[in-house]
Structure 1
Amino acid sequence: MILDSLIITIIAILMPNLLISNFKSLEDDKKGLYYLISCNLVMFFLYVNFVSFLAPGFIAGTLNYVWPFSFGLINIFVLKEYILNNNNFSLSKKIRVYFIFVFSFLFSTNMEIMAVVMLLFYMCIIFSIIKNSAGTFFNRLIKVPKILYVFLLLSVIVIFIHLTCPGNAVRFATETTPWLGEYLSLSLFNKIDIGLTSVFYIMLTRFDFMMVYLFFAIIGLYVYIISKNKVISIVCMYPFLIMSLIYLFRMLDDKSNLLFIDFVTKAFKPEMGSAFHGLLGDGISLSVLLIFIIFLTIIVSILISIIVIIKYRNNDIGIQISALILISVASQFVSGNAPSSIMFYPEYPGRYWIIFNGILMIIIGLLIYDLLENWEFSINKLQK
């Protein structure tokens, strides 16, 4: 309990330090406000994942998922504050810094989803440095700190180890015994479909998957403040509005029949007792088409929001949000290749969403902090 509390507190401490470039130079009152926001976001993160923690046990849920996420943030913080800043350290401090840097990376990537997340993060950092450097492409490559290439390679090696672990065969046999034939019949398209659309299934059928809902609300509000364009704001608020309508409809639904959930479930899992095939895995029906259109329009709305942010705010925020959204989506592709996740839907959304929710929490924090850090700009926009 003490260690869990410490690890979870580290997430709340690191969020503003990572997301606000001049955080150390801010006044104490502002720091306190930003820490308060991060604490509330972390508590919300714990709340929305509570079912996922209870299913395997709170110790297993936090140790296997929250701890790697926290250590991933520690690795990124050490990289930002110490490794890339070329600070002149004493030998003893350099040993401590690099020990934390390496240990946090290895602990974080020991979990498969975080290994993919850290690989994508290092790719984004390297791409950003190359993009912002001058000279020929080869000179830009040389300007990238060599340690980034080393840890990018380490990420690839760790993922290779995860894929070739001898225990995989035993676990696969154990988890697929009741439905081996059905699992083996899934094509690559089915697995991609599951990785992409399963998140929407949970949004439509459960109330405890609310981090996405909060993200829709915050990004819609953010676009409204920076653009002051009513048409654009409504378009970017669409995901929040459509999900509010769906949740209202569900609350008014007859609890004994659960007509809406049954309608959605049949689109993703037509025959009760069969495996979860994804939205497009069993042909096109009216329910599939309707859900797919809603899903597609939500994606388009998010893309428009990013374009608006780049146009009305700045490229950096838009690119950072785009990269984090892509990383969060990529983290879910594991569910398209994990036999247990496919077979347990829709009864148990499970641990595969913990990292996804954590990355969304970071995006929400980034948007809130940017509005508050540029409060004068935000207020002027609202008053126009």
Structure 2
Amino acid sequence: MKFLESKLLTIYKSSYFPFMILLIGMLLLHFMLNLDHPGDDKAFMKVLGKDHLIPLSYLTERYHTWSSRVLIEFILIFVVHFPAVWRLLDTVMMVLIAVSMSKLIPTAKNREKNWLITALLFMYPFVHMASAGWIATTLNYIWPLACGLFAMIPIKKYLCSEKVHWFEFLFYIPALIFAANQEQLCVILLSVYGVFTVYSALIKKVNWFMIVQTIISIFSFLFILTCPGNAARNVKEVNRWFPEFNTISLPRKIEMGFSSSLFEFVMKPNLIFTLFSFLLLLCVLLTHHKKILRFIAGIPFAASLVFGIFSNELGGTFYAITKAKNSMTKFGTGIRMNSVTSWVPDLLLVIISLAVLISLYFLFKNKKTSLIALFILLLGFGSRMIMSFSPTIWASGPRTFLFMYVAFIMLTFLLFQIILDSKSKIFKALSINTVVFLAILSFFNTFYTLR
């Protein structure tokens, strides 16, 4: 009995125990999902013939007429026939996302870090993954994300002079190839590996593996760009979802991408952004005494409350709040040069964005950390800005924000670390209790929503 108690206590004290809670929570959510959703799941159910062999002609046709995601769809064609297997594997992918994040962020307080990552992943609105059918959407977004984060781990190991065993390459390389088959993630991976390969060259710490991964990312990017199916699909999607898309000017498309990306986090109730901006303000209050910087750091948090969490209550009294929130149209915020009031929504978003960038840059004493934080933020934002050039910018729904959510999650951890390392017991208690409360509330909200 004592042996069993000792083992259970060891497991509980383990730094990976939080991920066991994540595993249990995700299993619970996945096994209660109703998979009878319309969408791509049903379409892929029809691909396999009676002999259960994938007709190569199908994948060839998809490449020439629809999509460059041949690797993702190759796996999807099989997995869609085994819902129970998908429930297990998708849960594993969520845990892999958590483990990879933990490996990518160095800190001595691993258990606290893993609890925070678990809490933040519970806050992600998982219902976004239902938009094109649960199985099809997660295989096109969650699985590439998990593999992409995993494929970035050697970068951190090399930069921190940690040993990378030869057999790890057998996992990192296939993970990168699979992840880079997803367009948004391919751009992220190419940017990450490209930047750190150049950085390694500058500090004379070049590694052949970094070069190989960068080359793979480049080839994946070129494969996507030259795929005839992507061009053919674009024409069909324009006709189906956005007939006016080709007549819209480039500045208008960029404005659409900019405003639609930030509306998701600022102009809607968004717990992850609210928590991020709240911790950003606390961190600046802890580390800086200049009133101007504290004021700037308070702008994103105030905006998340005014235009997000409490917008319905405040909008009844201040009509301008409601008007700004409702300014989003099929063509962006409808900004016009001859109407000053039409500039207001974008000006607000620009001010909030600059406040975040300035606060992050001046927050960290080590400017390398500041640059990494800004790089993470710009990667997440850039992954959504890519949708500016897609006629499915609206039709694709909220799933395209996934990588931007992950960027805010990783930044939130960096902020939380500052608070944990501080001497302020009040701020520590306030931050921890806020995170725990929001995580539990979010989990039960997701549980109830998905029933």
Same fold (TM over 0.5): yes
Deviation for aligned residue 1:218: 1.9
- Map 1:146-295 to 2 at 5 A: 146-178=208-240, 181-207=243-269, 209-247=270-308, 248-253=310-315, 261=322, 263-265=324-326, 267-269=327-329, 276-279=330-333, 282-295=336-349
1:120 paired residue number: 191
CA contact (8 A) 2:259 2:332 kept: yes
- Say if 2:144 and 2:182, in contact at 8 Å, map to a contact too: yes
- 1:23-50 per-residue CA deviation (whole Å, 9 max, x = no partner) reads 4xxxxxx4332221111011112x2x42
Amino acid across the alignment from 1:301:
A
Q: Could you tell me which of 326, 329, 332 is aligned with 2:384?
A: 332
Alpha-carbon distance in structure 2 between the residues aligned to 1:88 and 1:31: 20
Per-residue deviation at 1:183?
Answer: 0.9
Partner of 2:148: 72
369, 376, 379: which is aligned to 2:417? 369
1:42 aligns with 2:42: no
**Aligned position for 1:26:** none
Aligned amino acid, residue 309 of structure 1: L
Q: Say yes or no: does 1:298 pair with 2:352.
A: yes
CA deviation after TM superposition for structure 1 residue 160, in Å: 1.6
The residue type paired with residue 422 of structure 2 is W
Using the alignment, how far apart are the partners of 1:105 and 1:211 within structure 2?
27
In structure 1, distance between residues paired with 2:324 and 2:158: 53
Q: Which residue of 1 aligns with 2:446?
A: none
Higher RCO by CA contacts (8 Å cutoff, separation 6 or greater): 1
CA deviations 1:318-355 (Å, max 9, x no partner) are: 1110111111121112210111114x4xxx74211011
Task: Give 1:163 shift.
Answer: 1.9
CA distance in structure 2 between the aligned counterparts of 1:339 and 1:295, rounded to whole angstroms: 23
Task: Say whether residues 1:33 and 2:112 are aligned partners.
Answer: yes
SS at match of 2:392: helix
Change (3 A) 1:180 1:242: closer
Question: What's the secondary structure of 1:339's corresponding residue?
Answer: coil
**Alignment RMSD:** 3.0
Cα deviations by residue, 1:224-244 (Å, 9 ceiling, x for unpaired): 111133432122111111221
Distance 1:308 1:381, change over 3 A: farther
Distance change in 2, residues 1:74/1:110 (3 Å):
same
Comparing 195-204 with 1-10, greater Cα deviation is found at 195-204
2:368 maps to which of 300, 316, 337: 316
1:108 partner letter: A
The 1:67/1:290 distance shift into structure 2, 3 A limit, reads same
Which residue of the partner structure matches residue 110 of structure 1? Answer: 181
- 2:103 aligned to which of 6, 17, 20: 17
Cα distance in structure 2, aligned partners of 1:17 and 1:364:
16
Aligned partner letter, 1:361:
I
Confirm or deny: 8 A CA contact 2:147 2:176 kept in the other structure.
Answer: yes
Total equivalences in the alignment:
340
| Deviation readout 1:160-198 (Å, 9 max, x if unpaired) | 211221222342233221466411102222222222221
Quickly say closer, same or farther: Cα 1:179–1:17, change in 2 above 3 A.
closer
Output the TM-score relative to the length of structure 1.
0.79
Cα deviation, 1:259-292, whole Å, max 9, x if unaligned, reads: 8556544x432xxxxxx22236654534422212
Farther-moved stretch of structure 1 (359-368 vs 168-177): 168-177
Shift of 1:81: 3.5
Structure 2 matches for 1:126-137, cutoff 5 A? Answer: 126-131=197-202, 133=203
Query: Residues of 2 paired with 1:2 and 1:175: CA distance?
Result: 33
CA distance in 1, matches of 2:174, 2:412: 28
Relative to 1, partners in 2 of residues 1:238 and 1:86: Cα closer, same or farther, differing over 3 Å? closer
Partners of 2:361 and 2:367 within 8 A in 1:
no
How far is the alpha carbon of 1:359 from its aligned partner?
A: 1.6
- Distance, in Å, in 2 between the alignment partners of 1:160 and 1:88 is 29
SS at match of 1:299: helix
* Aligned counterpart for 2:135 among listed residues 56, 59, 70: 59
1:379 Cα offset (Å):
6.7
Question: What are the superposed Cα offsets for residues 71-130 of structure 1, whole Å, 9 maximum, x if unpaired?
Answer: 1111112443479847485xxxx2x31110101101111111100011111123134334
5+ long unaligned stretches in structure 1: 24-29, 134-139, 270-275
Q: Distance in 1 between matches of 2:295 and 2:160?
A: 41
CA distance in 1, matches of 2:241, 2:134: 28
Paired amino acid for 1:268: M
Alignment CA distance shift 1:366-1:127 (3 Å): farther
Residue 8 in structure 1 maps to residue 94 in structure 2: yes
Relative to the length of structure 2, the TM-score reads 0.68
Aligned partners of 1:148, 1:284: CA distance in 2, in Å? 50
* CA 1:349–1:201: 2 relative to 1, 3 Å: farther
The answer (yes or no) to whether the contact 2:93–2:143 under 8 Å persists in 1 is: yes
Write the letter of the residue equivalent to 1:221. Answer: L
Residues 244/263 of structure 1: CA separation in 2 closer, same or farther (3 Å cut)? closer
